Chains A and B, each alone.
Chain A
Amino acid sequence: AMDTDLSSQDRKDLDKFIKFFALKTVQVIVQARLGEKICTRSSSSPTGSDWFNLAIKDIPEVTHEAKKALAGQLPAVGRSMCVEISLKTSEGDSMELEIWCLEMNEKCDKEIKVSYTVYNRLSLLLKSLLAITRVTPAYRLSRKQGHEYVILYRIYFGEVQLSGLGEGFQTVRVGTVGTPVGTITLSCAYRINLAFMSTRQFERTPPIMGIIIDHFVDRPYPSSSPMHPCNYRAGEDNGAVYPSVEDSQEVCTTSFSTSPPSQCVFTVTKAHFQTPPPVVTDTLKVPVMGLAFSHQLSSSRLSYQPAALGVGSADMGYPVLFAGGLNAAHPHQLMGPGKEGGVAPIPSQPAHGTQADQERMCTPLDGVHYSAATPSSSEDTETVSNSSEGKCGSPHDLLETIFIRKVGAFVNKPINQVTMANLDIPFAMFAPKNVELEDNDPMVNPPDSPETESPLQGSLHSEGSSGSSTGNTHDDFVMIDFKPAFSKDDILPMDLGTFYREFQNPPQLSSLSIDIGAQSMAEDLDSLPEKLAVHEKNVKEFDAFVETLQ
C-alpha cells in the first residue's frame, strides 16, 4: 500500500544508517582484536561525528578496507559483509578464528520509524557488539598476540564462507534490527577446534618481547584530563593516500523529536573536507611486536596519521603492524621513521623478496593496518635512521639502518633512541649487532681484570667491619656495565651492580646491639601500664572488630 512505502527521505536516511553501521561494525571488531584495551570518552555535547551516539574511533585504514570491500553497495539479501579474523604464526601457519557476518534478510518491518527507532536500535546493536567481541575465544588470543602469532583481519562482501572455521564451529548472535527494507542481523561464527594451538600454549610462554604496558603513564581516563586535539594536518602529503576520505567526513547531526512522527527532524550534513576526521587518539596503543616499540609507551596519546615514508607508492605510507615473522627468519624488518618513535615494523622491501605481497598495506590478509603512531604533540622528530635526513628517504636509506634487535620485556625507550649501549634489556651486550661495535663489546674483549681475586669475589666482600683484603679491588671492579632485567634507569638512576654495592653495608639495627637493647627493655616495661590503659579505653572498637571476623 502506498502509505506504508518508505518516503524517499527515509530511504536515504536508512541507507546512510546501514552504511555507517557497517563501517562502525568493522571498526569495533577490528579494534577488539588489536590486542589492546580500548577506551573512548563520553561527551555530553554531541559532536556530530559520533554515529549512533557512541564514541567509536575510526581507524582510517580499516574504513578504507571496509569501503573497498563494500564498493558502494550495502548489505542486502545474499550480499553480506563479513569480517574474517584469523591467526598467523611466526612460522607462517594461519588459521581462521572467526567470521563476523552482517546480513540482511527479507523480513521487513514496515511500521518501524527509521530515523528514530531503527537508529536507536542500531546503536544498541553496536553496544551488544562491543560486549560480544570480548567474550569469544579470539579475544583472549588477541590480547596475547605479539609473541608467537598475530591476529589478522579481512573484509569481504558477498556470500558468507564458514568452511575455514573447522568442524563444530559455534555461532553467537549479536542481534537483529528490523527495518522497512529488511532485517539486519549481526552474528559471529567462531572456531572451537583450536587443535594445534590452544590458548594455554600461548598463555604460558612468557613473552620476552612484546607490548609493554607502562604502569607509570598517566592514563587519560575519559572524565579527567582533556583529550588532545585531533591532529589531522590537512594538506600534508599524507592527504593523497586516501582519496575517498572526503565522503567519510559525513557528519551525523541527529535531532530527535518526542512529538508525533510527522515532526521528526533529522539532518545529516556533509562536512567539508577540512573538518578533521576523527583520528584515533587517547589510549589506543599501537600494538607492537618484537622489533619496534612505539613511543606510545611513555605518552599514551596516539594519533593516527599517515606517515610520509616516501617509499615508492603511496601505499607504503602506512607501516604494517603485525607483519609476520618476528624472529631471525625475517631479520630485515624495517623500522618506520615515525616521528617521536612511533615506529612499527614495516614489511621487507620487495627487493628482499620476502613477504612481497605485504608491500601494499592495503592488501587483504595483511592484518591490522594503521598508520604510524605519531603523537599529536610531538615536536622533536627523532628518526630511526642514523642518517642525517629528518624524514625517511628512499627505501634504500632505510635499509642501511636495519639491525636485528630483540628487545626485552619492559623496554620503554623509543626504538629510535636505542643504540647498542643504552639498550635497556637484559644482556644487551649479547644482542647481535653490527660488526663495528663488537670491538667495543666488553664481553668479547673483557676489560683488564684486577690482579687479585676474581672480580666477582671482590664485589661480594663488604667494606665494613667484616673487613676484607680485597676492599680496594671492590672499587676497581667493573664487571659489566649492563642493565639487568627489570631495571629502568628513569626510575632509579642506578643499575643493579651499583645498587648492590651501595646498599650492601647497612648500619646495624639499633635494637640488635646489646647495651641499647637492655635499655629499651626497661623502658618498654615501664610504658606497659600506659599502653594497657589506652587499649582498655578502645576495648569497644576491638570487640566490634572481632565481631566482624565471626
Chain B
Amino acid sequence: PRRTLCCAPPRAAPAMNCRAEVLEVSVEGRQVEEAMLAVLHTVLLHRSTGKFHYKKEGTYSIGTVGTQDVDCDFIDFAYVRVSSEELDRALRKAVGEFKDALRGSGSDGMGQISLEFYQKKKSRWPFSDECIPWELWTIKVNVVNLANEQERQICREKVGEKLCEKIINIVEVMNRHEYLPKMPTQSEVDNVFDTSLKDVQPYLYKISYQITDSLGTSVTTTMRRLIKDTLAL
C-alpha cells in the first residue's frame, strides 16, 4: 500500500521533465534507518539553502547552513547532514514509518522510499494548486536476514562501501547543474521552498514509500535468495 507522509494534494504521475534517479541498496533490517537517512540527508544537503531574507525591492540575502558529521552505529559509514534538528526529525519520522512498514505484514523485505522535490503552481479557482515535481529520488531497499555474526560483520563493511558509492552517485547528479527552480520573489517563495523550518530552507519536498507485497514465493526460497544476494554484494 502506498502511503504519503506529508500533507500534500494528490497529484498525477511525474511530469515529463522531472528528473528521476533510482538507487538500490541491500541492507540488514537494523541498517535500514541509517542507510535511508544517509541518502536522504545527502540529497537534502544539496537541496537546502539558508533562510531567505527579502529586503528592498527584489533583493534578498541568504542565511548560513551549518553541517555536521553523523556516524552510523550499524554500518561502517559516516555522512554529513545539514545542521537542522527540525529537518532531521522530519526525516527520521518518515524513515521510521518506512522501516516499520517494511517489517510489517505482507512484506518480504522489499520496498522503496521516494523523495520528491516539487514546485507549487497556483491555479485559479475552483482548481486546487498543482504540485509539479522536478526531481525524484527513489531508493529501493532489499532487507536481508543474516545468520551469524560473521555475516553481519561483512554486511557492515559491504553496506558501508555501497553507501560510499551512492554518495558519489548523488554528487554526480547534483553536479550536472540541471534544472533548478528559478529563485522566487518574496510572494512566490513558498511555492518553491519549504519556509517552515527556522534555520534552513530546503526546496519543497515530500517523502512517500511503497512496500512490495510478497509475490507468494515460499519463505525458504526467499531467504535463500536473499542470502545469496548478500554474498554476491
Name A residues whose Cβ lies closer than 8 Å to a Cβ of B.
37-47, 50, 53-55, 116, 121, 124-125, 127-128, 130-132, 134-136, 139-140, 143, 172-176, 221-224, 253-259, 263, 265, 547-548, 550
Contacts and interface: CB of A to CB of B under 8 A. Distances in A.
Contact of B183 (A54, A125, A253, A256): A256
A42 B66 CA distance: 4
Given A42-B199, A172-B168, A222-B83, A55 B65 contact: yes
Shortest Cβ-Cβ A-B pairs, 6 listed: A175-B175, A259-B58, A135-B164, A39-B68, A37-B69, A40-B66
Contacts of A173: 172, 175
Given A130-B45, A134-B79, A175-B171, A53 B63 contact: yes
Contacts of A127: 45-46, 67, 174
A41 B46 CA distance: 16
Nearest to B41: A131
Contacts of A132: 167-168, 171
B67 A38 contact: yes
10 contacts: A39-B66, A42-B83, A43-B199, A54-B64, A54-B67, A55-B66, A128-B175, A131-B167, A134-B79, A256-B60
A257 B105 contact: no
Nearest to A172: B168
Nearest to B170: A131
A174 B171 contact: yes
A45 B52 CA distance: 9
Nearest to B43: A131
Given A44-B63, A55-B83, 11 more contacts: A39-B66, A41-B83, A42-B82, A53-B62, A132-B171, A221-B83, A222-B68, A255-B55, A256-B60, A257-B59, A547-B105
A143 B183 CA distance: 39
A143 B57 CA distance: 48
A134 B69 contact: yes
B154 to A, nearest CB: 13
A40 B62 contact: no
Contact of B69 (A39, A42, A54, A128): A39
A131 B80 CA distance: 6
Contacts of B79: 131, 134
Contacts of B53: 44-46
Contacts of A256: 59-62, 183
Contacts of B198: 44, 223
Given A39-B69, A53-B63, A135 B58 contact: no
A46 B50 contact: yes
Contacts of A547: 105
Interface of B: 42, 45-46, 49-51, 53, 55, 57-69, 71, 76, 78-80, 82-86, 104-105, 163-164, 167-168, 170-172, 174-175, 177, 182-185, 198-200
A222 B42 contact: no
Given A128-B46, A132-B167, A258-B185, A53 B64 contact: yes
A127 B43 CA distance: 10
B59 A42 contact: no
Given A47-B64, A263-B58, A53 B78 contact: no
A302 B57 CA distance: 41
A42 B198 CA distance: 9
Nearest to B180: A120
Contacts of A139: 78
B60 A43 contact: no
B61 A46 contact: yes
A257 B171 contact: no
A136 B168 CA distance: 10
A257 B58 CA distance: 5
B69 to A, nearest CB: 4
A140 B76 contact: yes
B175 A548 contact: no
Nearest to A47: B64
A232 B94 CA distance: 42
A134 B61 CA distance: 30
Contacts of A136: 164
Nearest to A185: B175
Nearest to B62: A53
Given A38-B67, A222-B66, A254 B61 contact: yes
Contacts of B82: 42
A222 B199 contact: yes
Nearest to A260: B58
A50 B64 contact: yes
Given A42-B82, A42-B83, A173-B175, A550 B105 contact: yes
B83 A39 contact: yes
Given A37-B69, A53-B49, A131-B170, A257 B64 contact: no
A55 B82 CA distance: 10
Contacts of B62: 46, 53, 254, 256
A175 B170 CA distance: 11
Contact of A124 (B55, B57, B174): B174
Nearest to B165: A135
A227 to B, nearest CB: 10
A320 B55 CA distance: 46
A41 B58 CA distance: 28
Nearest to A547: B105
A40 B65 CA distance: 8
Contacts of A124: 46, 174-175
A488 to B, nearest CB: 23
A141 to B, nearest CB: 12
A42 B104 contact: no
Contacts of B175: 124-125, 128, 173-176
Contacts of A221: 68, 83, 85
Contacts of A131: 42, 45-46, 79-80, 167, 170-171
Contacts of A46: 50, 53, 61-64
Contacts of A121: 177
Contacts of B60: 255-258
